[in-house]
Chains A and B, each alone.
Chain A
Amino acid sequence: MSVTLAVLAGVLAAVGTALVLHRTLTRIVLGLGILGNAVNLLVLAAGTPPGTAPIIGRSGRFGDPVPPALVLTAIVIGFGTIAFLLAVAYRSWTIDGSDEVEDDIEDRRLAEADPHDADDPDLDADERSVP
């Protein structure tokens, strides 16, 4: 296992995690991309040393096809996901002009509500007018 690859994967994972923890959606998307690349590198590093393509009928020292296959699949999937997330981010921006990930609105409303008033008819009336 190559030390360079392992260290690189670690650094990328750290960078990705830091970015994902932001509240800005574009940074999260970038972070997810970098995190994905970190894992992809790790998968490659976890594989056996390089060799020739393992095709039946050929000879020589074969490389293990599974890690590259995993990585290729993951790259393709990552490509689709990032494209989707960017579309969602764009949509979010066209809706309210912000790039922030919001809290669960309903949850916040519940947390702010006074629990003792839950069955209060006044509150019911208030809420009835909300929708």
Chain B
Amino acid sequence: MSRPRDSVILTTSVNGLVPVLVLVAVVVTFRGHNAPGGGFAGGLIVAAAVILRYLADGPRAVDRLPVQPMTLVGAGLCLAVAVAVAPLFVGGQVLESYIWTLDVPAVGKVKVVSSAGFDLGVFLLVVGAVTGMLAAFVEADDAEAPDVVGSAILESGPADDRAPDGRVADGRLADGRSSADPTGGGPGSRR
């Protein structure tokens, strides 16, 4: 699981696919206001792109992530909560949504909805949570690698993917477990 796949086809197609997926995710996120889509679906698409990268490049893809996944979760939740609370300061109610119509030169009328910020928060949260889970699993897998290298290779060769009694230091998987939680918090904040 931790070894990169040396598949030229996969690597090449992923290189082309990832930008497209991110673009699709952005479209899906913003059309979610009154059509199928939204932050959750968009976030999952980006997360799928990250997972594709991982499948093609192996753990390097996770190590190279530009942002810490948990920072992303925090930022997303912050944004969502901020958008939920903001109307209180202008005399509205929690989670109230406002629509502004702007006249942008050369583009025409653009509708800006304040709840798009909420969707963006959910988007960030989902991307962070899913990549966080992936990172935690990869890390747990890596932590096991010494066992595999140390014992299993000598005995039965590299074909053995995992040592069945491979032990991981205590608390190692804390990341994996906890990263599942913001996803649980997600639906609560979505509503």
Contact = CB atoms under 8 A, between A and B. Distances in A.
Chains A and B share a contact (CB less than 8 Å): yes
Contact of B180 (A53, A84, A97): A84
Contacts of A97: 164-165
Interface in B146-179: 164-168, 173, 176-177
A77 B190 CA distance: 12
Interface stretch (A7-15, A29-37, A43-51, A86-94): A86-94
Interface of B is mostly: helix
Contacts of B176: 87, 90-91
A29 to B, nearest CB: 13
Nearest to A88: B177
Interface in B23-76: 34-35, 40
B144 interface: yes
B181 to A, nearest CB: 7
A52 B190 CA distance: 22
A87 B168 contact: no
B177 A84 contact: yes
A interface, size bucket: 10 to 19
Contact of B40 (A76, A87, A88, A94): A76
B105 interface: no
Contacts of A87: 133, 136-137, 173, 176-177, 180
B187 A76 contact: yes
Contact of B173 (A77, A81, A90): A90
A55 B97 CA distance: 14
B140 A80 contact: no
A94 B181 contact: no
A63 to B, nearest CB: 12
Contacts of A91: 168, 173, 176-177
Residue among A77, A84, A97 with the most chain B CB within 10 A?
A: A84
Q: Which 3 A-B pairs have the closest CB atoms?
A: A80-B183, A84-B180, A87-B176
Given A90-B176, A97-B164, 6 more contacts: A73-B187, A76-B187, A80-B186, A87-B177, A91-B177, A95-B167
21 contacts: A53-B34, A55-B34, A73-B187, A73-B191, A76-B187, A76-B190, A77-B184, A80-B181, A80-B183, A81-B184, A83-B133, A84-B177, A84-B184, A87-B180, A90-B137, A90-B140, A90-B173, A91-B168, A91-B176, A95-B167, A97-B165
